[in-house]
Chain A
Amino acid sequence: NAGVTQTPKFQVLKTGQSMTLQCAQDMNHNSMYWYRQDPGMGLRLIYYSASEGTTDKGEVPNGYNVSRLNKREFSLRLESAAPSQTSVYFCASRGQLNTEAFFGQGTRLTVV
């Protein structure tokens, strides 16, 4: 099983450019998450989707949009990238009730 797949693995953007980070899971999980990880800051929740058709803001949603395209896919969009969005982005998914979350391998994004 592939688990959680994120694309791309690396990306360099210029300030003001837009891009979409893709995430897909093959575990039939209901909940999906986008986090960013900066040095010394742990994982900060950007957006999450408790189930297909719903999305909610997390701790740091400004500058991002998400789409839960279907049960498998949850994408994160940067409309106008800023240097402050330079980070490692992780997608995760989780089954219902009390189960562990599975993480993708991350996307290292640099905005110059």
Chain B
Amino acid sequence: EDKVVQSPLSLVVHEGDTVTLNCSYEVTNFRSLLWYKQEKKAPTFLFMLTSSGIEKKSGRLSSILDKKELSSILNITATQTGDSAIYLCAAALGSGAGSYQLTFGKGTKLSVIP
């Protein structure tokens, strides 16, 4: 059974702290790993990672994939109250030419307090 596990499930930090969110996967036909941020409604896309060891950055957020360890981390530096959200990671699975199924973890609920 394909499985994506995120930790911690919830986290409370103060503004300015740095946080690291973890995602591990045990899946067949792994193609890529995706990170999403969910505030009130639909998840919004953050990063997609396909190659091990290559960091992706966007402002204060960065993420990296380790295919040997079957895991990924999402780092947020200098957190702000606007970073409060549920962070979801998903493994894209597939065979042949395409990657079809997207399996999500349970998410990490991040709360940033002033």
What is the interface of chain A, defined by CB distance below 8 A to chain B? 30-31, 33, 35, 40-45, 48, 50, 56, 58-59, 90, 92, 94, 96-106
Contact = CB atoms under 8 A, between A and B. Distances in A.
A101 B88 contact: no
Interface stretch (B13-21, B59-67, B70-78, B99-107): B99-107
B98 A42 contact: no
B34 interface: yes
Contact of A98 (B41, B92, B104): B92
B53 interface: no
Interface of B: 6, 9, 31-32, 34, 41-45, 48, 50, 88, 90, 92, 97-107
B43 A98 contact: no
Ranked nearest first, the 4 interchain pairs of A and B with the lowest CB-CB distance are A42-B106, A103-B42, A43-B104, A50-B100
Contacts of A103: 42-44
A90 B102 CA distance: 13
23 contacts: A31-B100, A33-B102, A40-B106, A42-B88, A42-B104, A43-B88, A43-B90, A43-B104, A45-B101, A56-B100, A59-B103, A90-B43, A94-B102, A96-B97, A96-B98, A97-B98, A98-B31, A98-B32, A98-B48, A101-B102, A103-B43, A103-B44, A105-B42
Contact of B45 (A45, A50, A90, A101): A101
A42 B48 CA distance: 18
Contacts of B48: 98-100
Contact of B41 (A59, A92, A105): A105
Given A96-B97, A101-B34, A41 B43 contact: no
